[in-house]
Structure 1
Amino acid sequence: MPPREGSTLTGILLAAGRGRRFDPAGVQNKLLQRLPGGDFVVVASARRLLAVLPHVVAVVPPHDGGVADALRALGCTVTVCADADSGMGLSLAHAIRHAPLETHGASGWLVALGDMPFVAEATLQALVRAIGDGAGIAAPLFDGRRGNPVAFGAIHHAALLALDGDQGARRLLASSPVTTIAVPDPGILRDIDTQGDLPA
């Protein structure tokens, strides 16, 4: 079932991390590794969001090796976060500044990670519906474990803008009510963190 009318969110794709665990030398960008279907990791992640949401803002670091070009070609709005190395919190706050609700008539944001290409579209749709039904924050749950992406309602705008450091939105999730949605989707827990995480 698609998200119901009036519950549109803006997609946020965080693609500004350096992926040092994937390649400590910094030579290989994990987001630009090919998946079995041929897509880059980050492209597959973006495709999922774009299949569900009309507008996606992607955050990339300076000198991204081609991530921005790949995402623009898909139709994402790309913004460069000069402070990306200071942590995910700053990247997320940067994205929120570049995704104003009034521009797209959105009721919040669906925040996804560029290195998580296996999340099911049905999971994204369920998160959008939860915000449309009044949840302030909605997160998916698989096998008792909370994963990503996470959706935020407009009520958290100021708190998201104030984020910094490398914890992302964890403190906000710890201090605010979170509506968890059980989903049959192991993709919410599966990221590309090391070279061994890439499918054969």
Structure 2
Amino acid sequence: MTKRRPAVIVLAAGRGMRFLGQGHKLEQHLGADLDPSTSGAEDTVLAHTLAHAIASGMRVVVVTTQNLAPLVRPLIAARDVVAIPEFDSQGRATPIGMGYSIAAGVAATGDADGWLIVPADMPLLRPASMLAVAAALEQFPVAYAQYHGRQGHPVGFSAELYSELVDLHGDEGARRIVARYPSQAVEVDDPGVLVDVDTVEDLARLQSQHGLARVS
């Protein structure tokens, strides 16, 4: 019998407001491929994060907003895009926090053998790190990658936590679940587990450290 594997939930529903006037942070160009395994891929922040997640061999589902869905759909199969409405039927803004996004992604992959949570703005996160956390879920309900003792992503949850994950809401994410259950730190030789692109300064630092040409 084929063993079921965790699904990778890529969170791409943030508003990216710190790049106001320059487009969303996920569509910022890095200027070159950061990893030979993604050669030929688009060079946006989102494209690199997704390419690494797909290279892990696990199912990848992207949780995004209807507004950002056109940015996501060229990069992954339509069936694996979970688009959250930004406004309800009365025109009121939908409270799209991290918890809400995680719940939507887990609900869409209910038959998975656990879930790895990956923010979409982490283009250096390596497939091997995702697989290491997935392996730890065979023994622990919660596992997370760390580099030199510092906690990073992905954070993984076993299938037994389904009901708690789909009940998440707000912007707190899954911190309470991580605190409630025994968790395993998975030390990896991958500084990318700590690197996100949240600000213009983060992007410039990443480009500088990797000798990437800036793309206007």
TM above 0.5: yes
After superposition, give the CA deviation of every residue in 1:98-129 in whole Å (9 maximum; x if it has no partner).
1121xxxx311111110011112221111111
Query: Partner of 1:48 in structure 2?
Result: 52
Pairwise CA distance, 1:6: 2.7
Query: Partner of 1:146 in structure 2?
Result: 151
Query: Partner of 2:17 in structure 1?
Result: 20
Aligned partners of 1:169 and 1:67: how far apart in 2? 26
Contact 1:89 1:167 survives alignment (8 Å)? yes
Say yes or no: does 1:67 pair with 2:71. Answer: yes
Contact 1:29 1:65 survives alignment (8 Å)? no
Query: Partner of 1:97 in structure 2?
Result: 107
Q: Percent identity?
A: 35
Query: Partner of 1:159 in structure 2?
Result: 164
Pairwise CA distance, 1:174: 1.6
| Matched AA of 1:64 | L
Say yes or no: does 1:80 pair with 2:77. Answer: no
Aligned partners of 1:141 and 1:7: how far apart in 2? 25
| Matched AA of 2:28 | Q
Contact 1:15 1:113 survives alignment (8 Å)? yes
After superposition, give the CA deviation of every residue in 1:106-158 in whole Å (9 maximum; x if it has no partner).
311111110011112221111111113x2111101112211111111001101
Mean Cα displacement is larger for which, 120-129 or 61-70?
A: 61-70
Say yes or no: does 1:32 pair with 2:27. Answer: yes
Pairwise CA distance, 1:63: 1.1
Query: Partner of 2:213 in structure 1?
Result: none
Q: TM-score, normalised by structure 2?
A: 0.80
- Structure 2 residues not aligned, in runs of 5+: 33-41, 87-93, 208-216
Query: Partner of 1:187 in structure 2?
Result: 192
Q: Flag as ranges the 4+ runs of structure 1 deviating above 6 A.
A: none
| Matched AA of 1:81 | I
Number of residue pairs aligned between Structure 1 and Structure 2:
188
Aligned partners of 2:24 and 2:19: how far apart in 1? 8
- Structure 1 residues not aligned, in runs of 5+: none
Aligned partners of 1:65 and 1:139: how far apart in 2? 28
Aligned partners of 1:178 and 1:54: how far apart in 2? 21
Contact 1:7 1:129 survives alignment (8 Å)? no
Aligned partners of 1:192 and 1:127: how far apart in 2? 22
Contact 1:7 1:128 survives alignment (8 Å)? no
Change (3 A) 1:142 1:54: closer
| Matched AA of 1:41 | V
Aligned partners of 2:191 and 2:180: how far apart in 1? 26
Query: Which residue, out of 107, 122, 125, partners 2:113?
Result: 107
Change (3 A) 1:137 1:65: closer
| Matched AA of 2:80 | T
